[in-house]
Amino acid sequence: MTDHTSAILKKHEQEMEVRDYECDMADGVNNSVYYNYFEHARHSMLKAGGIDFAELARQRIGLIVARAEIDFKRSLVSGDKFKITTVVRRISKIRFEFSQEIFKLPDLTLIASAKVIGLPIDPSGKPKLTPDLEALILPMLSEVETA
Amino acid sequence: MTDHTSAILKKHEQEMEVRDYECDMADGVNNSVYYNYFEHARHSMLKAGGIDFAELARQRIGLIVARAEIDFKRSLVSGDKFKITTVVRRISKIRFEFSQEIFKLPDLTLIASAKVIGLPIDPSGKPKLTPDLEALILPMLSEVETA
Amino acid sequence: MTDHTSAILKKHEQEMEVRDYECDMADGVNNSVYYNYFEHARHSMLKAGGIDFAELARQRIGLIVARAEIDFKRSLVSGDKFKITTVVRRISKIRFEFSQEIFKLPDLTLIASAKVIGLPIDPSGKPKLTPDLEALILPMLSEVETA
Amino acid sequence: MTDHTSAILKKHEQEMEVRDYECDMADGVNNSVYYNYFEHARHSMLKAGGIDFAELARQRIGLIVARAEIDFKRSLVSGDKFKITTVVRRISKIRFEFSQEIFKLPDLTLIASAKVIGLPIDPSGKPKLTPDLEALILPMLSEVETA
């Protein structure tokens, strides 16, 4: 009779450090650089799972970003170390949602969070998930079980 | 007796052109570059209204971005010309929402759209709208009148 | 009996404007951005002569940079308008030297100058100038005549 | 009676990894990114010696780059790991020359080399080396002794 949800989170963690040239006039990391940080963490996760973005680009297929939402909470400054956590869920047949957070190290202050919707496209630019690519993505997904 | 809404849109338009070094492995403009394009258009609008970001940075006050949502529809490639439209509305005492769209020229294909929430902060980093800054922002706002 | 040299300079000029996100902590344009400005001017010159870098990249052939020297004289700040002049000379069978200067507008203050050595490579990465590419480059060259 | 030169090299080493978003249409790291890599290595060396660029920027004094020469030998691609070596020498009362090399790991293939001339400026933009700054720089210098 109990209704409980247990999530099996497969969380990818990526540690990075702010470089001086990523900071802007106001001394903080330029907002568009956070976008790059999140992208780098997603690519690292996908590569760790066997997906090679450079190779996909050469084949003219890829995982593109359809939508990105970023909430900026605090700012990193030059020299700060931080980690990015990434969890990915399937939200439709061909759409995947990456939930990501940047935490400053060592105190784990939340700096920014993002939700990014990605989907695979074929060489003509149409959304399409090949069985090969699906086989690589499935093991990365966090699952939500309801019992 | 009629209930109609008429919006007075003060739309800012910015024309730009893609540079080769803004394109990535897949030949298209890197997603984080669109973020920069949108920022450039917002800053141009604010500058046209008398707000100088570099000067604000020197005074340690500024308009920061609290949240950004971007929908990527199509991709620009090197050499493409495009325009960015920006409309800003006040959504709370100190929060402003910029609605922005990138259209490829000359055919006006929609490339990407964004909603960006900005707010002013004082030198200590706390949200605060000075009367000086408010006086500069008010004339830029699009108003919605209900009659 | 007189020995005089007359140069036929085919000078390419490119006007640009500094964007806020190109400026760094010290308020000026980050040095690596000047590198991008020079590259954009070279590509614009080459495109005006019929050479398409994106297309060359797809064919896996291209004009690569072998060496770049930049002298930084003064700094541009956000909003500055400037022009880049580019002159190209052939310095060996397959090597071309671009002499470039950035001048702030409207007063034409010299901001930075560069000498960039470019050469074409074939798909295997070896230096090679195809007749097609040579035919496109020759009309751009500044010539020095001695009489 | 022997005439020999022994250099006391104080070589700084910085390990880094190419990120996907640093690569361009031709799949390799965009040339301007190497400029950023070299800058990051110089700043890391200076920081390790007690010099804080962000702090200098806030005081409106800094070490600026007057000239940069880069030779591009080979290209790095996404995911490559590499190290940057940096050696600095004093070449005049206020000018310092950084000799830098990028080597791909683990095979130590030479990717690019640079000579960068830096000098300190005061808040008015004039070259000036304060005793404080000199005291921090001197211990980093490589010396050449002739006996």
Does D59 contact chain B (CB < 8 Å)? Answer: no
Question: Would you place residue C5 in the very low, low, confident or very high pLDDT band (cuts 50, 70, 90)?
Answer: low
Q: Which pLDDT does position A143 carry in this prediction? A: 74
Domain holding D48: CATH number? 3.10.129.10
Residues in CB range of C41: below 8 A, 6 or more apart: C12, C14, C84, C85, C86, C100
Q: Residue D57 is nearest to which of C26, C36, C71, comparing CB atoms?
A: C26
Higher pLDDT, D62 or C38: C38
| Cβ of residue D69 closer than 8 Å to a chain B Cβ | no
- What pLDDT is attached to residue A125? 81
Of the candidates B23, B33, B27, D101, the one whose C-alpha atom is nearest the C-alpha of residue C39 is B23
> Do the chains contact at A19 and D27, CB–CB below 8 Å?
no
Closest chain C residue to the Cα of B47, Cα to Cα: C79
CA distance A21 to chain D (A): 7
Q: pLDDT per residue over D94-109, tens digit each?
A: 999 999 999 999 999 9
User: pLDDT per residue over D68-122, tens digit each?
Assistant: 999 999 999 888 999 999 999 999 999 999 999 999 999 999 999 999 999 999 8
ipTM higher than the 0.90 cut: no
Among residues A30, A42, B77, which one has the least CA distance to residue C19? A30
Residues of D with active-site annotation: 24
Q: Give backbone dihedrals phi and psi of B43, rounded to 5 degrees, phi first.
A: -65, -40
In chain A, how many domains are there?
1
* Sheet strands (E) in D5-76: 5-8, 12-17, 62-72
Residues in CB range of D125: below 8 A, 6 or more apart: none
Q: What is the pLDDT of residues A94-125, one digit of tens each?
A: 999 999 999 999 999 999 999 999 999 988 88
Measured between CA atoms, the residue of chain C closest to residue D58 is C26
Q: What is the DSSP letter of B127?
A: B
Per the structure, the complete domain to which residue C20 belongs is given by 5-146
Comparison of pLDDT for D142 and B107, the residue scoring more: B107
Residue C132's contacts (CB-CB under 8 Å, 6 or more residues apart) are none
pLDDT of residue B27: 66
Instruction: Nearest chain D residue to A57 by CA: give it.
Output: D27
Question: Does the pLDDT of residue A130 top 80, yes or no?
Answer: yes
* Angle (nearest 5°) at CA B112 between C28 and D79: 65
- Given A24, A52, A71, A132, which residue is catalytic? A24
Is B52 a known active-site residue? no
- Kindly indicate the confidence band of residue C110, based on its pLDDT and cuts at 50, 70 and 90: very high
D35 part of contact set with chain C, CB < 8 Å: yes
pLDDT at B3: 46
Among B20, B24, B80, B107, the active-site one is: B24
With beta carbons under 8 A apart, name residues in chain B contacting A69. 67-70
Tokens 């008398």 label which residue? Answer: B50
Pick the more confident residue, D142 or C56. Answer: D142
Contact D83, D103 (CB under 8 A): yes
Mutation choice for C interface testing from D60, D63, D70 by most C CBs within 10 A: D70
Contact predicate B18/B78, CB 8 Å: yes
- Per-residue pLDDT averaged across A32-58, rounded? 87
